[in-house]
Structures are given as structure tokens and as C-alpha cells.
């Protein structure tokens, strides 16, 4: 490919983003609490611990995740937590 072709090259857009956590044993269940300072990973929140996950490993009393898309997993985890809190609050309010 010539330099001009490389400059003008536009890869085909994917039809949809890959699932968050793709490559993990059960991507839909991936949950990470947050990044650990000075470490490219975070605490895995999945229970029971997914020992077969290629991106996780035991450290101390916990299980760490080093998934390449950890930022997306954390964002989804936080969004799911915020959504579940809103639902709980609504249920409590409707009972009174």
C-alpha cells in the first residue's frame, strides 16, 4: 500500500462493539470495582471467583483483573450499580 493509500485508509466500521469483557469465561458477568493505583488492573468482583479467567490472578486475599478493556468493564459495573440503587430507592418510596 502506498503512503497516500495509507493516509486515506479507513478501516471498515464494525457492525457492533464487541461485548464488554470479551475473552473472559462469561463476559456478561465481568465486574471490576476500580483501578488500583500504580497497577494496570483492578479487583475482580465476580463471585465465585472465576479461576479459569485468562485475565485474572490471585493476589493476597483477592482476585485481580488485568483485562485489556478494564476501563469498559469498570464503567459498566458502575452503571449497573447506579441503576440498581435507583431501582431500590424507587421501590422504597412507592411503599410509603
Per residue in 31-65, pLDDT tens? 999 898 888 899 999 988 888 898 999 988 889 99
Residue 17 has pLDDT above 80, yes or no: no
Decide if 51 is inside a domain: yes
* Cell numbers at 96, concatenated: 410509603
Decide if 20 is inside a domain: no
Decide if 14 is inside a domain: no
Average pLDDT, the chain: 78
Please state, for a pLDDT cut of 90, what percent of the chain lies above it: 25
Decide if 16 is inside a domain: no
Decide if 83 is inside a domain: yes
For residue 85, the enclosing domain spans: 26-95
C-alpha–C-alpha distance, residues 46 and 44, integer Å: 6
Decide if 15 is inside a domain: no
Number of domains in the chain: 1
Decide if 32 is inside a domain: yes
Decide if 2 is inside a domain: no
Residue 14 has pLDDT above 80, yes or no: no
C-alpha–C-alpha distance, residues 74 and 35, integer Å: 8
Amino acid at each position: 500500500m502506498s503512503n497516500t493509500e495509507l493516509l486515506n485508509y479507513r478501516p471498515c466500521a464494525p457492525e457492533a462493539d464487541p461485548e464488554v469483557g470479551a475473552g473472559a469465561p462469561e463476559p456478561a458477568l465481568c465486574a471490576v470495582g476500580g483501578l488500583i493505583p500504580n497497577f494496570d488492573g483492578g479487583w475482580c468482583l465476580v463471585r465465585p471467583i472465576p479461576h479459569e479467567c485468562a485475565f485474572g490472578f490471585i493476589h493476597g486475599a483477592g482476585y485481580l483483573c488485568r483485562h485489556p478493556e478494564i476501563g469498559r468493564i469498570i464503567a459498566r459495573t458502575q452503571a449497573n450499580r447506579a441503576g440498581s440503587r435507583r431501582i431500590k430507592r424507587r421501590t422504597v418510596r412507592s411503599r410509603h
